[in-house]
Amino acid sequence: MFNIDRRLLDEQLVSWLKEDVGTGDVTTAFTVPEGHQSKGIIHAKEDGIIAGIPVAQAVFELVDPTLVFIAKVEEGAFVAKGTVLIEVEGSTHSILTGERLALNLMQRMSGVSTKTSHYVKAIQDLPTELVDTRKTTPGHRALEKYAVRVGGGKNHRYGLYDAVMIKDNHIKGAGGITEAVERARRNIPYTMKIEVETESMEQVKEAIQAGADIIMLDNMSAEAMAEAVSWIRNQAPHVLIEASGGITLDTIREKALAGVDVISVGSLTYSFQSLDISLDLNEKKGASSS
C-alpha cells in the first residue's frame, strides 16, 4: 500500500541533496571534529499521522550507508506530541548533513497525511471515497500522492497520460461535450476511461448520452448533486460519479450524503500545514583528537 518507486526517489533525493549540501556542509565541517559520533533523535512536536519514514531512511543511506537507522513507530501511525519517531546513529557529520532534507520531506508528507486523515474520518461511515488531484508541488507528486494513501485516501489520475478528463476548456476547444467524448473515444485504448466535468444537469445529460464513464459534478450545491446523482443512477447506473470543486472539511460530509462515489479534494496536496518534526543530537562518543 505504501510503496514508493525507490529508483525515482533516489534520483530526486540526489538532486535535492546537491541543492542543499552543494560542495559540503561548511558549518559542520568547521565546527564538529572529524570522527565525532552521535545518535540523532527525530521526534514529533505536535500530534499527527506520520508519513515519510522510508524516505528519511533513504536520505540518510545516500548521505552515509554506515549510519544505523531505526524507526520507532510504523509508517501511517498516529502519534502524540513528543513521540520519538526515528533514531539514527553514527557520524555526526553525516547526520547533520542529511538532517534538513529528511525533516523537510517528513514534515511535508506528514502534513498531507494528517490533513487527509481528517477528511477521511469525516466520511468514514459512508461508502464515498476520498481522492486527491494533480494539484501537487512540482517534483513532489509521487511523495504527496503517497502521503495521501498513508493518510487513508486514494489517488486520482497520476498525470495527463493515464486517464481522459474532459474539463471546461477541453469542451470549449472541441466544440462541445459530445464532440470531445467522441474524439477521445476514437483514439484511446479500450481499457482507458473517459471522465467529463459537468456544472449543470444539461451537461450531465449530454455527457451520459455521449457515453462518458465517469461524471464529475463540479462546484454544485449538495441539493443539485443529489438531483444529478438520482438521475444518473436511474439512467446509467454503471457510471461512476465524482464530486469536486472547493470541497472543505466543513462541506465534505454533505457532498458525500448526496450519494456520490468519489470526492476529490485538491487542497490535500496544495494547501496543507507541515507537521512540526525535529531532530536533536544525543552525544554518544567524544570527538577524536585527530
User: Is the per-residue pLDDT at 54 higher than 70?
Assistant: yes
Residue carrying the nine cell digits 455521449:
210
Q: What is the mean pLDDT of the chain?
A: 95
- Tens of pLDDT, residue by residue over 166-222, are 999 999 999 999 999 999 999 999 999 999 999 999 999 999 999 999 999 999 999
Handedness of CA 175, 176, 182, 187 (dihedral sign): positive
- Tens of pLDDT, residue by residue over 105-157, are 999 999 999 999 999 999 999 999 999 999 999 999 999 999 999 999 999 99
What pLDDT shows up at residue 283? 59
Indicate which residues carry an active-site annotation: 100, 135, 167, 197, 218
Within 199-272, strands assigned E span 214-218, 240-244, 262-264
Q: How confident is the model at residue 4 (pLDDT cuts 50, 70, 90)?
A: confident
Q: pTM of the entire structure? A: 0.94
How far is Cα 197 from Cα 137, in angstroms, rounded to an integer? Answer: 23
H or E segment at 46?
A: none
Is 260 within 8 Å of 128 (Cβ atoms)? Answer: yes
Quote the cell numbers at residue 105: 520531506
What pLDDT shows up at residue 106? 98
Angstrom CA distances, 158 to 7, 67, 151, 210, stand at: 18, 34, 17, 25
Contacts of 96 (CB under 8 A, 6+ apart): 25, 28, 32, 281
